[in-house]
Amino acid sequence: MKKAIVLGAGGFIGSHLVKNLKNDGYWVRGADLKLPEFSASAADDFAQGDLRNKDFVENIFDQEYDEVYQLAADMGGAGYIFTGENDADIMHNSALINLNVLDVCKNNGIKRVFYSSSACIYPQVNQIDPANPNCEEKSAYPAHPDSEYGWEKLFSERLFISYNRNYGMQNRIARYHNIFGPEGTWNGGREKAPAAMCRKVAEAKDNSTIEVWGDGLQTRSFLFVDECLEGTKRLLRSDVDKPLNIGSEEMVSINELAQLVIDISGKNLTIENIEGPLGVRGRNSDNRLIRGRLNWAPSRPLQMGLEATYAWISQQLESAKLAG
Ligand code: NAD
């Protein structure tokens, strides 16, 4: 039986990845500060602890793994990353996790670690025109991410690549673009646009309004979590040693995203654009490289993922109401 370890297994993507690897027949150990929030972990073994603590990292690498996935990071939605208030923690915590994980893996003879970087590493200057953002992999340099979260990801990408260069490792790096789906954070300030939109629409009374941050013309693409996992596994098992985008190329404005969710709900709602933290003006995945290198790219329409997410968030709201 193949063995995998998922770091960040209590988080959104990590908990889905554990389930996915279990379905593939793997023995899976998860590690995280916390257990998954919305359902029990499917992991065979779950080590709860702090990856900033090197002893903990050494303890969980007490055996061999066929696949190692490093998804743990201090992260959140626009309300967490872009205010500036959490910058020191974001940089310190995530860098320390990556430093520990790589060093322990190198010392234990583990050759290959998957690392989840982010579209947030791309330069702000290439994302000013909402109609034509440039997120081609090679446009990352000269670097100028719009957040310290992005700078830390860029540092860690380079760290993983340095271990390839100097220690003969074969680390694999994905730049995820806005992953969403059921069992993701949907309230409290760390949720991202699709979940926030689903919650606002599900909470809204018919014939009322929902608030959308900014003028709503900023553009993004959103990738459903199942396709993110498919890309993640394909990349880890490939020979691609450069960072690859894993994202959707279906770019929408934030107002269009809101309207899609409104249409799914069947409610009659008006969008009210208000001031709020924004991030870059436009961002879309560029999938030419992944298509060329993996002979695969995400293809599922945004609408399908939103339907599943809206249904799940509506259920969460109902359960919260029943619980009083
Ligand atoms: P998440 O916040 O749900 O999961 C991250 C997990 O890491 C959390 O469960 C958290 O408890 C854990 N963690 C943080 N600090 C830790 C520590 N010191 N020790 C142990 N565990 C710790 O985030 P996610 O959406 O599942 O994202 C997973 C990875 O993908 C992250 O690295 C994130 O930066 C990256 N990413 C995600 C997206 C996205 O849209 N979700 C986009 C780009 C990149």
In a domain, 291, yes or no: no
Which of 184, 182, 177, 176 is closest to 232 using CA atoms?
176
Q: Are residues 63 and 206 in the same domain?
A: no
Q: How confident is the model at residue 173 (pLDDT cuts 50, 70, 90)?
A: very high
Q: Are residues 141 and 209 in the same domain?
A: no
Q: What is the pLDDT of residue 190?
A: 76
Q: Give me the CATH number covering residue 158.
A: 3.40.50.720
Question: Which residues partner with 3 through β-bridges?
Answer: 27
Q: Are residues 266 and 140 in the same domain?
A: no
Stretch 299-322: mean pLDDT: 96
Q: What is the pLDDT of residue 83?
A: 82
Q: What is the pLDDT of residue 129?
A: 87
Measured distance CA(248)–CA(323) in Å, rounded: 36
In a domain, 288, yes or no: no
Burial readout 135-156 (b: 16 or more C-beta within 10 A, e: otherwise): bebebbeeeebbbbbbbbbbbb
Q: How confident is the model at residue 78 (pLDDT cuts 50, 70, 90)?
A: low
Q: Are residues 192 and 275 in the same domain?
A: yes
The answer, yes or no, to whether residue 207 has pLDDT greater than 60, is yes
In a domain, 295, yes or no: no
Q: Is the dihedral of CA 250, 254, 260, 261 positive or negative?
A: positive
In a domain, 100, yes or no: yes
Q: Are residues 22 and 139 in the same domain?
A: yes
The answer, yes or no, to whether residue 206 has pLDDT greater than 70, is yes
Stretch 65-86: mean pLDDT: 85
Question: Which residues partner with 223 through β-bridges?
Answer: 179
How many separate domains does the chain show? 2
Stretch 41-53: mean pLDDT: 98
In a domain, 215, yes or no: yes
12 lines ligand 1 (CB under 6 A): yes
For residue 187, the tally of other CB atoms under 10 A from its CB is 14
Q: Give me the CATH number covering residue 263.
A: 3.90.25.10
Q: Are residues 207 and 125 in the same domain?
A: no
In a domain, 289, yes or no: no
Query: Tokens for 264?
Result: 């799914």
51 lines ligand 1 (CB under 6 A): yes
For residue 215, the tally of other CB atoms under 10 A from its CB is 14
125-161: pLDDT as tens digits: 998 888 989 999 999 999 999 899 999 999 999 999 9
Q: Is the dihedral of CA 283, 95, 6, 39 positive or negative?
A: negative
Cα-based distances in Å from 130 to 8, 215, 219, 283:
32, 12, 5, 7
* Residue that is written with structure tokens 């290198």 in the block: 293
Whether the link from the prior residue into 142 is cis, omega within 30° of 0, is yes
How far from chain centre, in Å, is Cα 67?
A: 19
The answer, yes or no, to whether residue 115 has pLDDT greater than 90, is yes
In a domain, 128, yes or no: yes
Minimum CA distance residue for ligand 1 atom 4: 11
Q: Are residues 70 and 212 in the same domain?
A: no
In a domain, 296, yes or no: no
78 lines ligand 1 (CB under 6 A): no
Q: Are residues 34 and 137 in the same domain?
A: yes
Instruction: Please report the DSSP string for 48-74 in residue order.
Output: ES-TTSHHHHHHHTSS--SEEEE----
Task: Check residues 2 and 281 and name the one with the higher pLDDT.
Answer: 2
- Known catalytic residue at 149: yes
Q: Are residues 143 and 192 in the same domain?
A: no
Q: Are residues 111 and 133 in the same domain?
A: yes
Q: How confident is the model at residue 79 (pLDDT cuts 50, 70, 90)?
A: low
Q: Where are the beta strands (DSSP E) in 161-235?
A: 172-176, 179-180, 209-213, 219-220, 223-224
Measured distance CA(23)–CA(90) in Å, rounded: 33
Q: Are residues 197 and 125 in the same domain?
A: no
Kindly state the DSSP code that residue 165 receives in the 8-state scheme. Answer: H
Q: Are residues 112 and 57 in the same domain?
A: yes
Domain of 194, in residue numbers: 185-221+251-281+301-323
- Whole-number Å distance, alpha carbon 94 to ligand 1 midpoint, is 9
Query: Tokens for 4?
Result: 């995998």
What angle is formed at CA 69 by the lines to CA 63 and CA 73, rounded to 5 degrees? Answer: 115
Q: How confident is the model at residue 104 (pLDDT cuts 50, 70, 90)?
A: very high
Minimum CA distance residue for ligand 1 atom 29: 71
Residue of 39, 41, 70, 75 best suited for mutating to test ligand 1, as the one with most atoms within 8 Å of CB: 75
The answer, yes or no, to whether residue 57 has pLDDT greater than 80, is yes
Helix axes 87-107, 148-167, angle to 10 degrees: 10
Task: Check residues 213 and 315 and name the one with the higher pLDDT.
Answer: 315
Q: What is the pLDDT of residue 77?
A: 53
